[in-house]
Amino acid sequence: MENPVIIFGANTIGRIAKDIFENNGNVVYGFLDDTKSLHNTELDEVVVLGATDDDGFLKLIGKKCEAFVATDDIKLKKHVTDMINEVRHIQTVNAIHKDSSIGSHVALGHGNLIDRGARLAPGVKLGNHCIVHANAVIGVGTTLGDYVQVGPGSVLGDGVTVENESFIGASVTIVGNLTISEKARIGAGSVVIAPVKKGETVFGNPAQKVNNA
């Protein structure tokens, strides 16, 4: 990536993304964030330039700067990503830490974040706008849909399918060849030995459905 990058989101994910880009030798031009109190302040020595819809900075995207959307709020990420696609007609870049491990024949979409120490085995497929946190392990032939988040230290076995917008907490283990359906949530430390249905929240060892009171 030759151009500097503008990070949309001055938050925890934004700071992780900044660290990834700078460790890879890329220049971070600045942050854009809709929290007015952050404007013209510095976050880790990079300036929060303005709001995410600031036309003066949006005009740089695709010409002089690349863009990365850094948030784990799916609704917000979709809104900002759609705006970038429609206004600037470009896709957001991937943030892949140089100390991650990407196997052969791995397929990546756009706007994904893969943090330090994460390991993607051969044949893994990632959709768009996923977050794979530090030291997560994604097994051979596993598929992640769009807007999936995998917590730090989690291990997904071979041949797992994780559908769109699912959330996997920290230190989760998912045995091989299971399907985690759309918008499912798996609590931290869980061991998943059975498929998880659409929209379900599961937790524990073995993971069980959590009933919402």
Give the pLDDT confidence of 120-138 residue by residue, as tens digits. Answer: 999 999 999 999 999 999 9
81 in a structural domain: yes
Q: Does residue 211 surpass a pLDDT of 80? A: no
Q: Please, which pLDDT band fits residue 79 given cuts at 50, 70 and 90?
A: very high
Which of 93, 124, 155 marks a domain boundary?
Answer: 93
Which of 58, 75, 93 marks a domain boundary?
Answer: 93
Q: What is the pLDDT of residue 2?
A: 80
CATH number at residue 188: 2.160.10.10
Residue numbers of the domain that contains 45: 5-93
Regarding pTM above 0.85, the answer is: yes
SS (H, E, C) the chain: CCCCEEEECCCHHHHHHHHHHHHCCCCEEEEECCCHHHCCCEECCEEEEECCCCHHHHCCECCCEEEEECCCCHHHHHHHHHHHHHHHCCCCCCEECCCCEECCCCEECCCCEECCCCEECCCCEECCCCEECCCCEECCCCEECCCCEECCCCEECCCCEECCCCEECCCCEECCCCEECCCCEECCCCEECCCECCCCEEECCCCEECCCC
The answer to whether the bond into 195 is cis (omega within 30° of 0) is: no
Query: Do 187 and 106 lie in a common domain?
Result: yes
208 in a structural domain: no
Query: Do 68 and 15 lie in a common domain?
Result: yes
Query: Do 106 and 181 lie in a common domain?
Result: yes
17 in a structural domain: yes
210 in a structural domain: no
Contact 97, 114 (CB under 8 A): yes
Q: Does residue 5 surpass a pLDDT of 70? A: yes
Query: Do 112 and 83 lie in a common domain?
Result: no
Looking at residues 30-39, what average pLDDT do you find?
97
Q: Which two tokens stand for residue 117?
A: 């120490």
How many domains does the chain divide into? Answer: 2
Higher pLDDT residue, 54 or 1? 54
The pLDDT tens digits of the residues spanning 133-165 come to: 999 999 999 999 999 999 999 999 999 999 999
Query: Do 72 and 116 lie in a common domain?
Result: no
Q: What is the pLDDT of residue 212?
A: 61
Least confident among 103-117, 175-189, 199-213: 199-213
Query: Do 83 and 34 lie in a common domain?
Result: yes
Pairing of strands 208-209, 201-203: antiparallel
Query: Do 28 and 66 lie in a common domain?
Result: yes
Q: Please, which pLDDT band fits residue 213 given cuts at 50, 70 and 90?
A: very low
Q: Does residue 9 surpass a pLDDT of 70? A: yes
Which of 32, 60, 93 marks a domain boundary?
Answer: 93
| Average pLDDT value for the chain | 96
CATH number at residue 34: 3.40.50.20
Query: Do 68 and 108 lie in a common domain?
Result: no
Looking at residues 192-199, what average pLDDT do you find?
98
CA distance 98 to 114: 9
Query: Do 112 and 191 lie in a common domain?
Result: yes
Q: What is the pLDDT of residue 82?
A: 95
Query: Do 100 and 170 lie in a common domain?
Result: yes
Looking at residues 178-206, what average pLDDT do you find?
98
209 in a structural domain: no
